[in-house]
Amino acid sequence: MKLIIAIVHDEDVHHLIDDLTKDKFMVTKLATTGGFLKAGNTTLLIGVEDDKVDRVIEIIKNNCETRNQMVTSPTPISGAAGVFIPYPIEVKVGGATIFVVDIEKHLKL
Ligand code: 2BA
C-alpha cells in the first residue's frame, strides 16, 4: 500500500476531490501553507493499493493547473541613498507536488 501526499492549489481542489471520490478513492484534505509564498494551499492524503498509484496521479494531473504568482522578493535590492526596495518576482506554482510513500501498516480500528 502507498500513501500519496499531494500539495495542490486551493482553486483546483474541489474538482480534484470530486474526481477522486467518483473513482472510489478515499481522501483526507488538510489546509496547509507554502513555506515560500506563505500563502494557503491544500494537502491531500490518499491511501491506495500499489496498482492504483498511477490512476491517482493521472486524476491529479487532469485537475491541477500551473499558475504564475507574484511574490515580493525576500531579499530587497538596494535603491538610491541606501534605501532597500522590495521588488516583485514571478514564480510558477504547481500544478501539484506529489510524494508517494510506502505504508508499513494500515489499520482501521
Ligand atoms: P511554496 O513553498 O509557497 O512555493 C510556491 C512556489 O514558489 C513553488 O511552486 C516554487 O515555484 C517557488 N519556490 C518555492 N521555494 C522556492 C525557493 N526557495 N526559491 C525560489 N522559488 C521557490 P511549487 O514547486 O509548485 O510548490 C508549490 C507548493 O508545494 C509549495 O508552496 C510548498 O507548499 C509545496 N512543496 C513544493 N515542494 C516541496 C517539497 N520539496 N517539500 C515540501 N513541500 C513542497
What is the domain range of residue 6? 2-65+93-102
**CB proximity list for 8: less than 8 A, separation 6 or greater:** 16, 41, 42, 43, 44, 60, 63, 64, 94, 95, 96
Q: What is the mean pLDDT of the segment spanning 44-72?
A: 96
Cα 34 to ligand 1 centroid, rounded to whole Å: 6
Residue 85 or 96, more confident: 96
Task: Give the residue, out of 91, 99, 100, with the most ligand 1 atoms within 8 A of its beta carbon, to mutate for a pocket test.
Answer: 91
37 lines ligand 1 (CB under 6 A): yes
H/E stretch holding 56: helix 53-63
Task: Give the model's pLDDT for residue 80.
Answer: 60
77 falls within a domain: no
Q: What is the mean pLDDT of the segment spanning 92-107?
A: 96
Provide the grid cell at 29. 484534505
With 0.85 as the threshold, say if the pTM is over it.
Answer: yes
Task: Give the model's pLDDT for residue 72.
Answer: 79
73 falls within a domain: no
45 falls within a domain: yes
- Cβ count within 10 A of residue 4: 21
* Phi-psi sector, 90: left (phi>0), alpha (psi -120 to 50), beta: beta
Residue range 63-92, pLDDT digits in tens: 999 999 888 765 655 556 666 677 788 999
Task: Give the residue, out of 11, 93, 99, with the most ligand 1 atoms within 8 A of its beta carbon, to mutate for a pocket test.
Answer: 93
Q: How many domains does the chain have?
A: 1
Provide the grid cell at 72. 515580493
